[in-house]
Amino acid sequence: MELEGKVCIVTGGASGIGRAVAALFARHGARVVIADANAEAAEVTAADLGAEAIRCNVAQEEDVMRVVDQTRQRHGRIDVLVNNAGYGFIGTVETIDGADWDRLMSVNLKGVFLCSKHVVPVMAAQGGGSIINTTSYTAQSAIANRAAYVASKGGVSALTRAMALDHVAQGIRVNAVAPGTVNSPYFDRIFNEAEDPAGLRAAYDARAAMGRMGRPDEIAEAFLFLASDRSRFATGSILTVDGGSSIGNHLVA
């Protein structure tokens, strides 16, 4: 029960990695608040996990402020913030529409800024806390035809290190997890819509030196480590959990 009594907000917590993180945190004694733009999915997940759900578009400051205020009012503190909400799409700088670029950056990067901006004062007042951002192995090694996503995750990694320096004196640790490609509902939809689902899945499996996609529960363990006191000397760290996707020349588009 490594998070016994701790109050944890998980953005994008209704499915995929976020759901696995929320579930693992709850099993370790945390009081979990799932903040997700999909209110119905968030409610279902919260009911399954014995957690709370609050609808939140992390790109909208009013939504973020509501989540932080309601959590603080109900529980008196916020110990852990997991900035996990995000998405991606295909495209190069030549082909991406400017409005699509702006929307992705508003969620993937601005969302991390807004959630952290409003949680930091709460953590500082209580003597500290842990912020964990979801970046990506692609921020380190890149991948073809995902320019906006790679750029946003590069920004998240850099922001993680900057925040770690800015808030260490307030007792706030800021770290990030960099997952590889993870077998999740997001990718299930991509595979189901492909002309050759089996072939595309095999190509994604081949991205990792281990020869397979990761599982959400495997990634969640990294978040638990960074949320718990076991990582009390870690701040500004990027913990890569990608099955070896970033260590060779085997990457595929």
146 neighbors 193 (Cβ within 8 angstroms):
no
Q: What is the pLDDT of residues 22-62, one digit of tens each?
A: 999 999 999 999 999 999 999 999 999 999 999 999 999 99
For residues 38 and 13, the answer to whether their CB atoms sit within 8 Å is no
Model pLDDT for residues 168-186, shown as the tens digit of each residue: 999 999 999 999 999 888 7
CATH fold for domain 7-182+214-241 = Rossmann fold (3.40.50)
* 3-class DSSP state of 188: helix
Angstrom distances, CA of residue 28 to CA of 115, 134, 221: 23, 20, 11
Residues 6+ apart with CB under 8 A from 177: 132, 133, 134, 135, 219, 222, 223, 226, 238, 239, 241
Q: Among all residues, which ones are annotated catalytic?
A: 149
- The span from the CA of 252 to the CA of 248, in Å, is 11
Euclidean distance between CA atoms 101 and 112, whole angstroms: 16
For the chain, the structural domain boundaries read 7-182+214-241
Name residues whose C-beta falls within 8 Å of residue 187's C-beta, 6 or more positions apart in sequence. Answer: 181, 204, 213
This prediction has a pTM of 0.95
* pLDDT over 60 (residue 253): no
Tokens of 241: 């959990």
**Closest to 1 in 3D by CA, of 226, 216, 228, 219:** 228
Percent of the chain exceeding pLDDT 90 equals: 83
